[in-house]
């Protein structure tokens, strides 16, 4: 919830391969609720409530009213009871077409995020592949303007789940079923974002991003061995300072761009357990190994070993 995600999923014999993903980390159904709330307050001529409880109650009403919108809805009626004494005497009426125009940029933003998927689809079709359809799930896809705009771009190949809000949970339940012979469902998942760590380069003159697990890296299946990535180098400092991040995209030079999320930050002393301040070593530092593992649940762990001293520390990220 609270995000927009898209995936290219080839299906063969019940095997679903999540080949490519894209999305917007900070765009979801709650953004549509906020726009409806803002419109209602503008019409009522009252400010946004000051207390967090009143704001939450107001957005809750907007969400409930939004989820009740259907293709034949002409007007959106809100009581705004959460405003208390400032609530209007009569319900506020928002023309549904005005609301659709207000949120249209949000839907267009999701279409822009779909471009990597669309380009991959063009490549598939050039080599004889066929797009079976675009399947829409998630609560926000129940808002009529969303499938309408998507169909403007993709035509009749757009299909909306009959249970958009519950579709993800239903899929997880099928996948988690013990009776795989009956469901026949198998999924190959991949990293949806680049996972990596910032490092110094050119004797500390520049910072670079090392993508340990690039976007699209296949995840291990249930019961399979973890996927492993290793790095070895001579330490340049007395303390290893690791800043791990996830990034939606990287540019041509490998630097993260777009949505970037801090994942973890750790410090590992290389010469003594009591060291607290980072300093550059005068001579050649110890040989360090970083061993990264990711399991079927998507949990990433790193073991950092000082090979010269025979000391190791493991961190679950």
The span from the CA of 299 to the CA of 140, in Å, is 29
The span from the CA of 274 to the CA of 255, in Å, is 34
- Give this prediction's pTM: 0.73
251 & 104 share domain? no
How many Å is the maximal CA-CA distance in the chain?
Answer: 77
Of 160, 188, 216, which residue constitutes the final position of a domain?
Answer: 188
What CATH code is carried by the domain that includes residue 225?
2.60.34.10
pLDDT of residue 182: 55
162 & 126 share domain? yes
The span from the CA of 13 to the CA of 73, in Å, is 41
pLDDT band for position 118 (50/70/90)? confident
Is 70 exceeded by the pLDDT of residue 183?
A: no
112 & 207 share domain? no
In the DSSP assignment, the letter for residue 217 is: P
71 & 146 share domain? yes
5 & 88 share domain? yes
| Ramachandran angles phi, psi of 71, nearest 5° | -55, -25
Of 155, 188, 221, which residue constitutes the final position of a domain?
Answer: 188
Tell me if 17 sits within 8 A of 189, measured CB to CB: no
pLDDT in tens, 291-309: 999 998 899 999 999 999 9
What CATH code is carried by the domain that includes residue 37?
3.30.420
The span from the CA of 189 to the CA of 19, in Å, is 8
150 & 225 share domain? no
132 & 13 share domain? yes
The span from the CA of 169 to the CA of 174, in Å, is 9
Tell me if 63 sits within 8 A of 78, measured CB to CB: no
pLDDT in tens, 37-51: 999 999 999 999 889
196 & 159 share domain? no
Which two tokens mark 246? 């996830």
Domain that holds residue 295: 191-316
Tell me if 212 sits within 8 A of 278, measured CB to CB: no
287 & 168 share domain? no
pLDDT in tens, 27-37: 889 999 999 99
The residues with which 240 forms a beta bridge, in sequence order, are: 268
45 & 178 share domain? yes
Is 70 exceeded by the pLDDT of residue 261?
A: yes
pLDDT band for position 222 (50/70/90)? confident
75 & 157 share domain? yes
What's the total number of domains in the chain?
2
Of 188, 214, 238, which residue constitutes the final position of a domain?
Answer: 188
Matching residue, tokens 């598939």: 124
The residues with which 210 forms a beta bridge, in sequence order, are: 197
195 & 311 share domain? yes
């Amino acid at each position: 919830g609270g995000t927009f995600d898209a995936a290219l999923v080839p299906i063969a014999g019940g095997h679903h391969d999540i080949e490519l993903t894209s999305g917007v980390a900070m765009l979801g159904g709650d953004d549509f609720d906020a726009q409806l709330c803002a419109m209602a307050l503008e019409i009522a001529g009252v400010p946004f409530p000051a207390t967090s409880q009143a704001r939450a109650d107001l957005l809750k009403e907007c969400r409930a009213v939004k989820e009740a919108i259907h293709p034949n809805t002409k007007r959106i009626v809100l009581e705004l009871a959460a405003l208390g004494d400032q609530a209007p005497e009569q319900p506020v009426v928002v023309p549904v077409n005005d609301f659709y125009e207000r949120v249209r940029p949000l839907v267009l933003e999701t279409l822009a995020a779909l471009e990597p998927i669309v380009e991959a689809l063009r490549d598939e079709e050039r080599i004889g592949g066929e797009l079976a359809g675009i399947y829409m799930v998630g609560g926000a896809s129940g808002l009529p303007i969303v499938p309408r705009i998507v169909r403007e771009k993709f035509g009749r190949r757009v299909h909306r789940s009959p249970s958009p809000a519950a579709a993800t949970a239903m899929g997880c339940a099928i996948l988690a079923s013990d009776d795989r012979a009956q469901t026949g469902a198998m999924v190959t998942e991949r990293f949806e974002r680049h996972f990596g760590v910032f490092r110094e380069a050119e004797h500390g003159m520049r910072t670079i991003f090392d993508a340990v697990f690039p976007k699209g890296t296949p995840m291990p299946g249930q019961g399979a061995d973890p996927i492993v990535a290793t790095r070895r180098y001579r330490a340049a400092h007395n303390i290893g300072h690791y800043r791990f991040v996830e990034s939606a995209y990287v540019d041509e030079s490998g630097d993260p761009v777009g949505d970037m999320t801090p994942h973890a930050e750790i410090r590992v002393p290389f010469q003594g357990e009591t060291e607290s301040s980072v300093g550059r070593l005068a001579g050649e530092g110890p040989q360090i190994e970083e061993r990264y593992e990711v399991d079927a649940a998507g949990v990433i762990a790193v073991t950092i070993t000082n090979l010269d001293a025979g000391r190791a520390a493991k961190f679950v990220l």
